[in-house]
Amino acid sequence: MRKNYLLVILLLAATTLSQQRPPAGSVPRNPEDFSAELQKLRETWVQEFNAGHAEAVAALYAPEAVLMRWDGSVHGYDSILAEFKRSASGGAHDYVVHSLHAERSGDLGYDTGAYNVTLRDRVVEGNYLIVVKSMNGQWKIVAHSSVANPPEKP
């Protein structure tokens, strides 16, 4: 009887501890941790884009991701990679991102803010929205939309 009582106590303690500790490789549940992870993702995206590393930028996206821009949408890794190669060869550089709000719920999150990027003949300013999903313990971009502000009239 005493062994059964001890066994029940040990099982209850193990169950309680397993519920309090996130599984190995899981995405942090703390909002500050999410903000830090998203900031790292943003900084990596900007750094790699500005360096012209299209492969490194495309690697931040989920395999089935969608990238929506002013001139259309592309779907999937290969199309997103081709789009970033086109941007790099087209002279886009000095990308700057200012996050205005980020939030998450479960395995999905988003970040929205303002950006500017220097093209060969002008600087484009606009707004962006990225949706991220936890995949194998990493946040991956599943949807990314950027919308340029309309040109100012003289």
Residues 56-99 have pLDDT tens digits of: 999 999 999 999 987 889 999 999 999 999 988 888 888 999 99
Residue 38 burial by Cβ neighbours in a 10 Å radius (0-12, 13-18, 19+): buried
Q: How many CB atoms lie within 10 A of CB 54?
A: 20
Distance between CA atoms of residues 8 and 27, nearest Å: 31
In this structure, what token pair is assigned to residue 70? 């002013």
Does pTM top 0.95 for this prediction? no
Q: Which residue in 78, 87, 153 sits closest to 115, CA to CA?
A: 87
Q: Does domain 28-148 correspond to CATH entry 3.40.50.10480?
A: no
Reply yes or no on whether the pLDDT at 140 is more than 80.
yes
Reply yes or no on whether the pLDDT at 12 is more than 50.
no
